[in-house]
Amino acid sequence: DIQMTQSPSSVSASVGDRVTITCRASQGISSWLAWYQQKPGKAPKLLIYAASSLQSGVPSRFSGSGSGTDFTLTISSLQPEDFATYYCQQANSSPTFGPGTKVDIK
């Protein structure tokens, strides 16, 4: 199985900050990577697929990059509604998720 790691596990930030989350795969997955946002008590929401494609309806302050084993999710200017937990997910083989990164208020 392909293992996914994320860093940091949590980050404290202020509204307007630029936030970057990193995801690493245990082996190369090309661009088979997606990012999700989850708020407490809610289902995950797809933000990014194919490593860098923005899902319809998702604000352009979210962006993704990377290929192979190393990927990044960037929030260019953090908004109040962005405080949540973010997960990466690979589908090069049976889907697996990263452990999550919690973004909370500084």
Partner 1 sequence: EVQLVESGGGLIQPGGSLRLSCAASGFTVSSNYMSWVRQAPGKGLEWVSIIYSGGSTYYADSVKGRFTISRDNSKNTLYLQMNSLRAEDTAVYYCARFSLVDRMSSSSGHFDYWGQGTLVTVSS
Say if residues 69 and 23 touch (Cβ distance below 8 Å).
no
3-state DSSP assignment of residue 80: helix
Q: How far is the CB of 80 from partner 1 (least distance, A)?
A: 23
91 binds partner 1 (CB under 8 A): yes
Q: Which of 19, 21, 32, 71 binds partner 1 (CB under 8 A)?
A: 32
24 binds partner 1 (CB under 8 A): no
Position of tokens 């309806």? 57
30 binds partner 1 (CB under 8 A): yes
Q: Which of 3, 18, 26, 50 binds partner 1 (CB under 8 A)?
A: 50
Tokens of 67: 């290929």
Buried b (16+ CB within 10 A) or exposed e, 64-85: bebeebebbbebeebeeebbbb
5 binds partner 1 (CB under 8 A): no
* Interacting residues with partner 1 (CB under 8 A): 1, 30-34, 36, 38, 42-46, 49-53, 55, 67, 87, 89, 91, 94-100
